[in-house]
Chain A
């Protein structure tokens, strides 16, 4: 998919996300707007996955460690063909398999059950280690939130990935500068991330996490640095694409009212033109 089509796909996913949150009356809309461009690029340009064989041993893996943005992943998986598109309307309903956090045993395409923060990166290290042991070419990607980098388990995994020389592993930090309750800078400021990761032996790149060309370019296989795990610090905005949500901590899991919903959809539709 070219970058124009990727942008249109991301816009479509944003609109479906806003609609689903509005209808369900819950969700993590801010972080979903933040991560959608990254997920779109991964699933429609970078990763090799097959909805007809979701457990193909040679597939690329994506671990959405910021599992609270599961809805964005569900919509991406539905657009990719892993689940039916009309299933998105069951999000959060009783007995729906589309829980508020992803479940690999229920939803094809989900690799592991995330939700508690700081779990995805260690698991991704294990995946990448297995591929390295087997000398297999598939890649492992993991997306964490920036606030999530406050979890100590991530730094255990960062040390191990470097020790194991996992150059088949890519950590993407969705760096939107906001966590649930406040700005990172006012809570426990893990920024700047680049020098910390570099000090731990990682190759680090910083990009605009909403620029499709930059995302696709930095994630391309030819950008792998031999012997080093890769960290992409993706500078993003929580609530990206919706003016009144963007960069506002209130929208971590706030639900739009009808007027806000209409405005958000109008803005996204205009952006799709």
Chain B
């Protein structure tokens, strides 16, 4: 499909997250929220008002937060751990490995303000390594929804899924992209726009920019396929192989370091299954300078025109 893109209204996906979580919690009393003093930044005030006994705030203590969630899950609760991504994934990484992944615990890790959402606050507050860190672990699907519709669907999926997962949310506004009736399926990519000259694979805050880049390329006579790859692990191998074979070149865009993230995951499949020229756009292995998320995304060549330029150059490498 070549869905029209309306970018005049941008939405904070946290709103879809908490609205869905509150609906699910009303229907299932096993659902609890666990946080690290992050009631405000995770937008959990409404949840706290509706379910005061089911919001477990451990204070500023991320290791304990993840361990407590594992213990709650042991006793049949379905914990949604809500915290800023850099601290959830960085500080508590060993708890995620041992207590969630290795123990196969039914804990939903919800990383808020992922990527460079805290742009100006600096690299300590950027979470541009989380795909790489969590993707290295078995048993914890890694998912970055692209808009509020996909976010709501992913939260519903997570509540049903038996096992852990890492949901990577942003606070930076994105337009509606997926159809209202979209249903997230683990490991399934969505072709948002078909094309034959090059494929752009993106997720999270980059998917709509990829769509805008495809529109720019279209005006240049270049037909770009756009794939929304919310599920980074497991990844949709078939969609990648088909894209490689049909378009002969793949460019990836992510609000993450290019070391170990979406681009790396796609490259692993491409190298193993169907080698074609690739370009990985993202943070190029540095700590980002001061600037807003949107500024930094452009700075690293991921504005719609930046992505289009990279795609044009990539196509020239096709044999």
Contact = CB atoms under 8 A, between A and B. Distances in A.
Q: Are A and B a genuine interacting pair, yes or no?
A: yes
Interface of A: 57, 61, 103-105, 111-116, 118-119, 121-131, 133-134, 140, 152-153, 156-157, 159-160, 163
Contacts of A105: 103-104
B98 A57 contact: no
B95 interface: yes
Contacts of A159: 59, 61
Determine the interface band of chain B, counting residues with CB < 8 A from chain A.
Answer: 20 to 34
A121 B61 CA distance: 13
A126 B67 contact: yes
A56 to B, nearest CB: 11
Contacts of B59: 156, 159-160, 163
Contacts of B65: 122
B67 A61 contact: no
A173 B139 CA distance: 32
Contacts of A152: 63
Contacts of A112: 70-71, 74, 99, 103, 105
A143 to B, nearest CB: 15
A115 B103 CA distance: 11
Given A104-B103, A105-B103, A111 B74 contact: yes
Given A122-B70, A125-B67, A126-B75, 17 more contacts: A112-B74, A112-B105, A116-B94, A116-B98, A122-B67, A122-B95, A123-B67, A124-B71, A126-B67, A127-B75, A130-B75, A152-B63, A153-B63, A157-B64, A157-B67, A160-B61, A160-B68
A161 to B, nearest CB: 10
Interface string B64-92: 11111111111111010000000000000
A31 to B, nearest CB: 19
Contacts of B188: none
B98 A127 contact: no
A131 B99 contact: no
B61 A126 contact: no
A57 B76 CA distance: 8
Contacts of A129: 56, 68, 71-72
10 contacts: A112-B99, A113-B103, A119-B94, A122-B66, A123-B74, A128-B71, A129-B56, A129-B71, A133-B77, A152-B63
A137 to B, nearest CB: 13
Contacts of B66: 122
A123 B71 contact: yes
Nearest to B104: A105
Nearest 10 CB-CB pairs, A to B? A126-B71, A122-B67, A130-B75, A156-B64, A156-B61, A126-B68, A153-B63, A127-B71, A123-B71, A126-B72
